[in-house]
Structure 1
Amino acid sequence: MEIQIAKLPRIRIQKKRFNKLPESCGVYIFWAKNEAIYIGKALNLKSRLLSYLTVNLSPKTKSMVHEAQNVSFIKVNSELESLLLEAYLVRKNQPKYNAALKDDKHPLKNVKTDIPVFRPQVG
């Protein structure tokens, strides 16, 4: 896994910096006051992060983008890596704008591998 972290200061005004983003998959982190406020994954980092600069954002997303001071990203080699890394970072950092992945009330309890089809069981 290739990891690259880059910070792009003042995302609200520096759209030109987004044009230098890689068009590969990875995980991105929005920061405010040295705290992760949102962690997401993307198949195309450049395209996904540029989408945050559009005018058609939900009120919650607008609030998050307005609050963010920096954004960083970690390049990975596959969609699976980005999914796993995003889940790990959200659980570790508990960003306030990541509601769905913070839920640890229903963790994976056990995995049965002795059945013909591999099926994780969630309890």
Structure 2
Amino acid sequence: MPATMTLKATTFSTDNVVSLRANFLPRHREYLMRWLDAGTCMGLCDVDVSPRSGNGPIEHVLVWVRENADPAYLLRPEGMNWVLVDNLRDHRLGTFKTFEAALYAIRPVLACGATAAA
């Protein structure tokens, strides 16, 4: 009698899947405020951190510069990286490993890698 093999159908629950996504942490907010303060002499005017919902994950950070009334830059998490977009021209400027490096690409007003304590 030939041996038969029985395969069990296995279902995987998505409850255990953790998507890797860069998060906006309190240290990012502190760094952003220090960066904005240091960059006022270089034309930085204002920033806005927009969450997806009231207390949900961050959707994007908008950066205003003196030269324009509309936000000049959009910074958003994408996977484990941060994407920098020229918001006025809707043009992707680059992908950065850290939030601080993306801000440095906009205006190098703080030493690159000068992160705040967590």
Q: TM-score range by the shorter chain?
A: under 0.3
Give TM-score, length-normalised by structure 1: 0.24
Structure with greater helix share of residues: 1
Give TM-score, length-normalised by structure 2: 0.24
Answer 1 or 2: higher relative contact order, Cα 8 Å, separation at least 6. 1
Mark the structure with the bigger radius of gyration.
2
